[in-house]
Amino acid sequence: MTPALRASDLHVSLGGREVLRGIDLSLSAARWTAVVGPNGAGKTTMLKALAHLLPARGGVEMLGRVAWTDRERARRLAWLGQNESGAEDLRAHDVVMLGRLPHQPWLGGASAEDQAIVEDAMRQTQCWDWRLRPLGQLSGGERQRVLLARALAVRAPLLLMDEPLANLDPPHQADWLAIVRRHVAAGGTAVSVLHELNMALHADELVVMDQGRIAHHGACADPATHEALREVFARRVRVHALAGQWVALPDAVED
Amino acid sequence: MPLARDEAVDRATRSPLAVGLVLIAVTALLLAVGTAVGSLGWEPLWGGADTARAILWEIRLPRSLGAWLAGALLGLAGAVAQGLFRNPLADPYLLGSATGAAFGVAMMLVLIGVAPMAADGWVARLGLTGAGFAGAVGAVLVTLALARGVQHTLRLLLAGVIVGMVFGALSALVMFWVPDILRSMQSFLLGTTGFLGWGSVGLLGVLLAVSVLVAIGFSPALDALALGESTAISLGIPLSKVRVGLVGVMALATGAAVAQVGLIAFIGLLAPHLVRAAVKPTHRWLLPLAALAGGVLLLAADVLARWLLAPQELPVGALTSLLGGGYLLWLMHRRPL
C-alpha cells in the first residue's frame, strides 16, 4: 500500500544550524501517528518539512507522488500550526471558511457545500455558538477549537497538527481524540506533534525523535517503543499500563 | 441556542455594506461642503455667475475630489500594509515608503526644475508621480532587505524607521544643495491639496481603481495570512507572488498619493482602524471600506484646514497629524494596545 507520507534523507537547516539530520520515514495511510521527543528534537521542523512548509533537502512523497501544485497539495494536506496568533479581527466563521480556500475558485465565494462543511467542522469542535465572534475575543482554548475546525474544514485526507492540544481542557482533549479517531476510521491519516506523552500514547504509532533524528518508530503498544521513550527522556520516564491505557510517568526522585 | 448579545457580536454582525453606504453618504455630504467652502470661508456660489461656476468647477470640485482620492489611496495602502505585515501599527509611512516618495519627488524637482504641483501638463505630472512611485518602491525594498523579510515585525518596524530617517536626511541634503526647490518642497512636506486639478483627479482616480481591484484580488491571501505564513502556505497561497503584488500596490498607492498631495500623516494608519471599530469584515470588504474611510478622513481634514482659520489656510498634513495623533492617544487611553 502506498504510504501517505514518505521522507527520504530529509535535511533542514534553520539559521545555519542543522535541525533535521537525515530523516527516513514512511507513514502508512489510515493511521494516527504521534511525534514525540524532548524539546529541540526537531519535531515541529519535521512536521513542517513533511507539509512542504519550509525548504528542505531530500525528498518528501505525498500519496506516492513528489510533485504537486500548491493548490493540489493544499486540498490533500491540512495543517494546524502551533500557537497561531493573529486574525484577531476575523470572525470565527470567516476563519474556518479559510479552510475551504483550496477548493474555491479565486474570489469565487462560498458555495452551499462550503457552508455545510464549515458548519459541520465547527459543530465537531463545538465552536459553532460563537461563530460570529472575532477571534481576538476568544479564550486560548476557544480559539484553538476554531483553528482545529479551520483545519478540519479543508476535508483533506492528511491532517498534520503541531501541538493541537495547547490550551484545551480535558473534556475538549477527549473530543479532539474522538475527532482524530473518526478521521482515521474514515481512511484519513493524522500526524500530530504532542508534548503530552499520555495523549501521544493513544496514537496508533509513535515516532520518537531526538537531536534531529528519528530514534524509533513503532507501535504504541510495543515495549521497544516504551524503551525508546525512556531512552530519549534521559531514562527519567517509564511507560505503565493503567486501566487499559498506556501512561508515561516520571520516575520517582531518589533521595 | 441563542447567541449572547454583546458588543463584539453586534459589531461583527453589522453589515459591511451598510458601513460602506454610510461612508459614501458622508463623502457626498463632504463634497458638497467642500465645494461650498472657499478662500473666505463659507461661500456656496451655487447657481452663481460664470466666474462663480468656474471657481466651483475648475478649483473647488477637483480639489475636493482629489483630496478624497488621495485619502482613499492612503487608506487602502494602510489596510494592505497592516494585513501584509500582520501588524496593526503598520502604515505606509512606518515602512519608509512615504519618505522614499518624498526623496523621489525632490530628485525629480531638481531634474525638471519646475515648481512642483503647479506644473501643468501630463508629462510633469506623470514624472512626479513616477518619481514618487519609484522612491516609495525603493524605500520599501530597502526596508524589506534590512529586515530580511517580513517575518519579524519588530525588526521590520525598526528598519522602516531607519530607512525613513535616511531618506529624510537625503531629501534634506538635496534641499540644502538646491535651495530653489525649497518652497515647493515645503508645501510638499506639509501636505497640500491646493494644486489638485482635473488632471490629478483623473490620474488618482485611475490609480485608485487599479489599486483597489488588485488589492481585492489578493484579499483571500490577506485573510489566510492573518493566521500566519505556515497556514497561508498550507492553504495553497503563493506567498512570494502575493507579497510582490501587495508591496507593489502599497507603493503605487502611497507613491501616487504622496506625489500629488505631499506628506499626509496618519490617514493610512487610521482608516483601517476606524473601519474595524465599526465592523469586523474579511479583507474583501475591509480594503474598499478602508479606502472609503481614508477618503472621508482626508476630505474632512481638507475642508477643516480651509475653513477653520479662513481666509488663512492650514497645512492639511499638519492637521491630520494633530487629529490622528489625538485619536490614537484616545484609543490607547480607552483600550491599552
Q: How many CB pairs under 8 A join A and B?
A: 92
Mean pLDDT of A59-85: 89
For chain B, list residues with pLDDT below 70. 1-13, 39-41, 45-48, 113-126, 129, 150-153, 335-337
User: What pLDDT, on the 0 to 100 scale, is given for residue B2?
Assistant: 42
> What number is the ipTM of this complex?
0.91
Nearest Cα of chain A lies from the Cα of B77 at a distance, in angstroms, of: 18
Q: What is the pLDDT of residues A30-43, one digit of tens each?
A: 999 999 999 989 99
Q: What is the pLDDT of residues A92-131, one digit of tens each?
A: 999 999 999 999 987 778 899 999 999 999 999 999 999 9
Under an 8 A CB cutoff, do B3 and A74 touch? no
Under an 8 A CB cutoff, do A106 and B217 touch? yes
Q: State the cell numbers at B180.
A: 530653489
User: What pLDDT, on the 0 to 100 scale, is given for residue A234?
Assistant: 86
Q: Please return the burial class of A241, using the count of CB atoms within 10 Å of its CB with bins 0-12, 13-18 and 19+.
A: exposed
Q: Considering CB atoms only, which of A71, A75, A90 is closest to B223?
A: A90
Q: What radius of gyration do chain B's Cα atoms show?
A: 20
User: What pLDDT, on the 0 to 100 scale, is given for residue B113?
Assistant: 66
Chain A environment of B224 (Cβ under 8 Å): 98, 101
Under an 8 A CB cutoff, do B236 and A89 touch? no
Q: Which residue of B has its CA nearest to A105?
A: B220
User: What pLDDT, on the 0 to 100 scale, is given for residue A227?
Assistant: 92
Chain B environment of A129 (Cβ under 8 Å): 1, 3
Q: Which of A12, A90, A96, A138 to mutate to test the interface with B (most CBs of B within 10 A)?
A: A90
Under an 8 A CB cutoff, do A70 and B224 touch? no
DSSP H or E stretch at residue B37: strand B37-38
CATH number 3.40.50.300 is the correct assignment for the domain at B2-334: no
Q: Considering CB atoms only, which of B8, B217, B237 is closest to A107?
A: B217
User: What pLDDT, on the 0 to 100 scale, is given for residue A9?
Assistant: 92
Domain locations in chain B as residue ranges:
2-334
- Cα–Cα distance between A167 and A180 in angstroms, integer? 17
A146 touches chain B (CB under 8 A): no
The pTM score is 0.87
Q: Considering CB atoms only, which of B12, B86, B236 is closest to A71?
A: B236
User: What pLDDT, on the 0 to 100 scale, is given for residue B1?
Assistant: 39
Q: Are B44 and B60 in contact, with CB atoms under 8 Å apart?
A: no
How far apart, in Å, are the Cα atoms of A35 and each of A1, A3, A42, A83, B178? 22, 17, 10, 17, 66
User: What pLDDT, on the 0 to 100 scale, is given for residue B6?
Assistant: 55
Q: Considering CB atoms only, which of A77, A91, A130 is closest to B234?
A: A77
User: What pLDDT, on the 0 to 100 scale, is given for residue B41?
Assistant: 67
Q: What is the pLDDT of residues A73-100, one digit of tens each?
A: 999 999 999 877 778 889 999 999 999 9
Q: Residue B230 is which amino acid?
A: S
Mean pLDDT of A136-144: 89
Q: Which residue of B has its CA nearest to A52?
A: B234
Nearest Cα of chain B lies from the Cα of A102 at a distance, in angstroms, of: 6
